[in-house]
Chain A
Amino acid sequence: MLSSKLFIRQVLALLAKDLKTEWRTREIFTSMFVFAVLVIVIFNFSIGADPELIHQVVSGVMWVALLFATVLGLQRAGQMEREEDSLYGVLLALSDSNALFVAKMIAQILYLLLLVICTLPLCSVWFRIDFLACIGGLWVVFALGILGLSIVGTLFAMVALHTRAHDVMLPMLFLPVTVPITISSVYATAQLIAGKNLKDIADYLTLMGIFDIIFFTLSLMIFDYFIEE
């Protein structure tokens, strides 16, 4: 089912549609990027001028910015869906509704990847951290973390879409459930920046990997059930 040609074609088609819309308006990504930058800058002010202290909390600040940017991006995307009410039409046309989930998840991953690529240089300059030195390990941590956030985020975005308090609902659902990712990513990133290598953070990476696998499988299993009319 997951690897049938029809499925892949549908996923790619949906993905292309979302990305094309985004490319034309650039709404979602710009708001994510601006918001992430704002969060990082404001954090800087609220922590104070001590460079040692700032250096220690960089990892946390970056991931908080990522988390909130994810929520924001999903909310904007959800808003567009709600306005257009396009979801049901799309679902009718699909043979397997999981294609919708996978497509939206991949779109979110791409946005977050782009976001990370844009903000890392900024953080490098602002906080005087040499990310290039640990880029190998960093890449793994960000990949696993972004994957986890996208999976859970897309799932809950669909859930929160039709509720009345949808703006509040998404972060309320998303943030507690992704606590394992948050904890693991922040710690792993901090360790890498401090000069450790991948072997030292192996158990955090395992935790993130397990989280990703479990939630991806879970999402695929239950997506069908709650999206049907």
Chain B
Amino acid sequence: MRIFGTILLFFIVFPLIFIRRNSVFQAVILYIIMDIAIFLVFIYVPTEKVQGIVQKIFYFHVSSAITMFLAFFIAFVASIMFLWKSSDWWDAVALSSVEIGVVFCTLVLITGPIWARPIWGAWWSWDPTLTLSLVLWLIYVAYLMLRADAHDPKRTRFAAVLGIVGFVDVPLIFWSVEKWRTLHPKPVLIQEGGTTGLTFAMLLTFVVCLGAFLLLFFYLLRERTSIAQSRYSLEVLRQEVDDLLAR
């Protein structure tokens, strides 16, 4: 276990070498906290009695889920601000947030079944949180597809609509699946979550993991927003060059 953890630590060092932006300080802090998180998950926290070591997936899985919700919420706010203020920056934030949100959502949808298989005996279950994540994934992938189609700045307004509608829909989808779920047969070996009655060690580990993921999210958000803004500036510049050449 310790060897596995240490190897994992190494794989964290490597990619961070490539991160050379003016937010070096943030990257360093992020790196340190990620290392601590990994240490806590694999070396510090004791293995859970009932579920075995697979339970450790929970720390990153739930952290991803919470980060995903935050991402979509930020996209929601940014979309409103964009429609209201028509500022390109808000649009860049919305797009970036949705993209990162989709990344984390994909992770949730992959790690969830990986955890579920040994625990429940089934890869999938139509319970509210899983179904909600799946539908959200569909909605925000549609957002990205809509954006990919839209080179005209006017069309970005349409995507903003989806950014708003998608998030407003979240509680509604959750409630409807909650009611629907009670009809569905549960998987054979189902055990409820496992999140009740966390010991202190588990709680500490989880909080650190969540913190690491949130830091990572904001780091990625800044990078991606910067990319989106650079693209706008490039477009504007290209227009200028074309105009100049035409003269």
Residues of A with Cβ closer than 8 Å to B?
A: 152, 155, 159-160, 162-165, 168-169, 172-173, 175-177, 179-180, 183-184, 187, 203-204, 207, 210-211, 214-215, 218, 222, 225-226, 229
Closest to B156 in A: A226
A155–B169 Cα distance when bound, in Å, is 14
Assuming the A-B contacts A169-B149, A226-B161, are A207 and B139 also in contact, with contact meaning beta carbons closer than 8 angstroms in the complex? no
A97–B55 Cα distance when bound, in Å, is 54
A169–B173 Cα distance when bound, in Å, is 20
Residues of B with Cβ closer than 8 Å to A?
A: 83-84, 135, 138-139, 141-142, 145-146, 149-150, 154-155, 157-158, 160-162, 164-166, 168-169, 172-173, 175-177, 179-180, 183
Residues of B contacting A229 with CB < 8 Å?
154
User: Which of A160, A162, A176, A222: most chain B Cβ within 10 A?
Assistant: A176
Asked whether, in the complex, the Cβ of B155 is within 8 Å of the Cβ of A163, the reply is yes
Asked whether, in the complex, the Cβ of B173 is within 8 Å of the Cβ of A180, the reply is yes
Residues of B contacting A207 with CB < 8 Å?
172, 175-176, 179
Assuming the A-B contacts A187-B183, A225-B157, A226-B158, are A180 and B176 also in contact, with contact meaning beta carbons closer than 8 angstroms in the complex? yes
Assuming the A-B contacts A163-B146, A177-B166, are A184 and B176 also in contact, with contact meaning beta carbons closer than 8 angstroms in the complex? yes
Assuming the A-B contacts A159-B162, A163-B158, A180-B172, are A187 and B179 also in contact, with contact meaning beta carbons closer than 8 angstroms in the complex? yes
In the assembled complex, 16 residue pairs joining A and B whose CB atoms fall closer than 8 Å, in A order, are A160-B158, A163-B155, A168-B145, A173-B139, A176-B138, A179-B173, A180-B169, A180-B172, A203-B179, A207-B175, A207-B179, A222-B83, A222-B164, A226-B83, A226-B160, A226-B161
Asked whether, in the complex, the Cβ of A226 is within 8 Å of the Cβ of B157, the reply is yes
A215–B169 Cα distance when bound, in Å, is 9
